[in-house]
Amino acid sequence: MNYYIITGTSKGIGKALAEELLKEDNNYVVGVCRNSTITHKNYRHQPLDFSDIPAVEHNLQKVFLPYNDAEKLVLINNAGVLGDIGYVGEAMPNERFEFVFDVNVIVPAMLMNTFLQVYQQHPAQKLIVNISSGAGKYPIDGWASYCASKAALDMLSMTVQKEQDMRGSGVKVFALAPGIVDTQMQENIRQADVERFSTVDKFRDYKETNALAQPEEVAAKIIQFMHNADKYNDVVVDVRNM
């Protein structure tokens, strides 16, 4: 059996990924986020709110069960939030930085840490895919905490891959940007005020001109990528270049 532990399976890219993987009988998916929207014999949901760090810490062992029959163990850190759109220093509540970093960086780091620790002796092939963003590579006004969190996720991925290489573990780690995808996150982006995010019209145009990728096609590309993960040497990758 191949075990996929995927965060954020209730909607968007994570849900499409889980549903595509569940088409194969030898795949099992453990979904982790607040809401459960998938019913399938090979799906188990672990409810967790990533903005509640003590609760995440308390429930980690429920996510990473022994899975003794696993041939493949995959962690996909997909759950993510954009946070409040607006300029730093202009009515941005301080606690929102913590919220975005908890969901986008701290919990993915905790999950990677626990995954690598718990399965260190497990003979299965191991893979970690962190869903990052182009927004971690250049600044976008109004998105400071999101851009910074995705840059942090890229560096976390590169550092962990370096460590795994130095240990000779064979574990592969990626920070994968999915492109611009037609999900709830994009819907929220389009509703922003131009005064707080100067390029909002560009994102409204993406929708109007059908330039957004569908979650199902992105999920299929990510699954194809995971099948060929050994062929990729760069940690930071973009679905649009595959």
Ligand X SMILES: NC(=O)c1ccc[n+]([C@@H]2O[C@H](COP(=O)([O-])OP(=O)(O)OC[C@H]3O[C@@H](n4cnc5c(N)ncnc54)[C@H](OP(=O)(O)O)[C@@H]3O)[C@@H](O)[C@H]2O)c1
**Site residues for ligand X per CB under 6 A:** 8-14, 33-35, 48-51, 78-81, 103, 131, 133, 178, 180-181, 183-186
Retrieve residue 134's tokens: 């182009």
Task: Give least dist CB 174 to ligand X, A.
Answer: 13
| Residues 127, 230: Cα–Cα separation, whole Å | 10
Task: Give least dist CB 34 to ligand X, A.
Answer: 3
Task: Give least dist CB 203 to ligand X, A.
Answer: 9
Catalytic residue among 4, 28, 146, 232: 146
Confirm whether 146 is a catalytic residue.
Answer: yes
Nearer to ligand X, 12 or 86 (CB): 12
Burial of 231 (0-12, 13-18, 19+ CB in 10 A): exposed
Inter-CA distances, 70 with 2, 37, 64, 65, 98, Å? 6, 25, 12, 11, 35
Nearer to ligand X, 27 or 132 (CB): 132
Nearer to ligand X, 98 or 125 (CB): 98
Q: Residue 92, Cβ neighbours under 10 Å: how many?
A: 18
Q: CB under 8 Å to 24, separation ≥6 — which residues? A: 2
Catalytic residues, by residue number, are 146
